[in-house]
Amino acid sequence: MGRSQSVPRGRDPRFGPDADDAGCPILHVDMDAFFASVEIRRRPELRGKPVVVGGLGPRGVVSSASYAARRFGVRSAMPMARARALCPQAVYLAPDGPAIAAASAAVMQIFRDVTPLVEPLSSDEAFLDVAGAQRLLGRPAVIAEQIRARMSEEQQLTCSVGVASTKFVAKLGSTRAKPDGMVVVPAGLVLDFLHPLPVDALWGVGEKAAETLHRLGLATVGDLARAPLGMLRRAVGEASAAHLHELSWGRDPRRVTPEHVEKSIGAEMTFDTDVADPDLIRRSLLALSEKVGARLRAGGQVGRTVAIKVRLADFRTINRSRTVPTSTEVAREIFEISWALFEALGAREHIRLIGVRVEGLTAAASTSRQLTLGEPERGWREAEVAADAVVARFGRASVGPASLLGRSDLRRTENHPQRTVVPLSDPPTPS
């Protein structure tokens, strides 16, 4: 959608918790500074301090910043180097994947306790349709307050909620409610809420589109709503013009859709400095394949297509993929295909970023795997499932390929006072 920083914060009594929520069954719940808040919950001594979570290398990007850090201008998606310049006194932390995943699961469970109609947008936000829950739990605004109270009491986290008649307006409402607030947009006041907003608050208006609209004198959503459709079509094209015109009048027919089908699972890394060392690239692909395989197994999914993404130092991006006869969730098989794809590129340039992705996903239970001739009945799949159990108990650094031991840049090391390191053997080093 449009840029969230374009939506003004602040309380307006017309859109407060006591506003008329009749005909407003859509909630958008967005956790406040989620990654940073999870870290602060675990380390209470950080409360009230500027905390920034993201990639810590020279090319790292901010994933989340506490509101104490935001007062210095630090924002999500900002280069970490810029964040450090703005707020050198902040505490800078790498994302803790398992802690974030556990917190996200708990958050989503609270949503599903309210209604089965939950549409997650990411690990920390979702749309809810509470029309069917009102008889048992009360009005939409009351349900929203119940969710906020449970988040605080059970998870020691805060969230912001938008209550509206449509998904689009509910999303804008939660943005305006931040932090730790609630905005109700009565059905009869949607245009009063929308039309004063800057035009780049609309879904689909990025920086370039905003510049185009500003050149036409369209600064606010109301300006766009009153603009002739022909002028909009010439400026942004037929489809975008129709889309923006509908949104500017508060019309958004989309329903909350809980069925979210994952189309692919992947992981990528940006190197601190451009690299050309084949052994480092190989180990990076191995680490990424491990992450992808673990995520597939955790989600009970397998896939038939393995793809790699290679971004060169000059920002050219190359994508290659291979579809195999049998679906897999085995990291070793994913790695072997990924490495073969990379070798086939014959790339000699320095590389900035590399990624691995598995596509064409299906449920693992629905797929029977045919053993190849001479393949043992038990092998890498069983070893990796056993490794998953060790990781769940002792942390990600407790088991893994021997070539990744001690490589915190490739494989994040967690702090476990007593851990058993079980190196898995590696594929042959490329000649």
Share of the chain above pLDDT 70, in %: 81
pLDDT per residue as tens digits for the range 176-205: 999 999 999 999 999 999 999 999 999 888
Q: What band does 387 get if pLDDT is binned at 50, 70 and 90?
A: low
pLDDT for position 424: 38
Q: Which CB contacts under 8 angstroms, 24+ apart, belong to 139-146?
A: 139/21, 140/21, 140/24, 140/25, 140/26, 140/27, 140/184, 141/17, 141/18, 141/19, 141/21, 141/24, 141/182, 141/184, 143/27, 143/114, 144/17, 144/27, 144/29, 144/182, 144/184, 145/17, 145/182, 146/114
pLDDT at 117 > cutoff 80: yes
Share of the chain above pLDDT 90, in %: 66
pLDDT at 12 > cutoff 80: yes
pLDDT at 60 > cutoff 70: yes
Structure tokens at 384: 């990796």
Q: What band does 5 get if pLDDT is binned at 50, 70 and 90?
A: low
Q: Of 69-78, 137-146, 168-177, 388-397, which gets the smallest average pLDDT?
A: 388-397
Highest mean pLDDT pick, 8-12, 169-173, 323-327, 369-373: 169-173
pLDDT for position 400: 55
Q: Give the domain ranges of the chain.
A: 207-248, 264-424
More confident residue, 21 or 383: 21
Q: How many CB atoms are located within 10 Å of the residue 222 CB?
A: 17
pLDDT at 260 > cutoff 70: no
pLDDT for position 365: 67
pLDDT for position 57: 86
- Mean pLDDT over all residues of the chain? 85
279 annotated ligand-binding residue: no
200 annotated ligand-binding residue: no
The catalytically annotated residue of 39, 45, 119, 125 is: 125
pLDDT at 428 > cutoff 70: no
Q: Is 125 a catalytic residue?
A: yes
Average pLDDT over residues 422-430: 40
pLDDT for position 409: 53
pLDDT per residue as tens digits for the range 293-304: 988 888 788 999
pLDDT per residue as tens digits for the range 84-102: 999 999 999 999 888 898 9
Average pLDDT over residues 28-52: 96
Interatomic CA distance for residues 427 and 364, integer angstroms: 25
Q: What band does 379 get if pLDDT is binned at 50, 70 and 90?
A: low
pLDDT for position 386: 60
State the fold for domain 264-424.
Dna Ligase; domain 1 (3.30.1490)
Q: Of 1-15, 140-154, 164-178, which gets the smallest average pLDDT?
A: 1-15
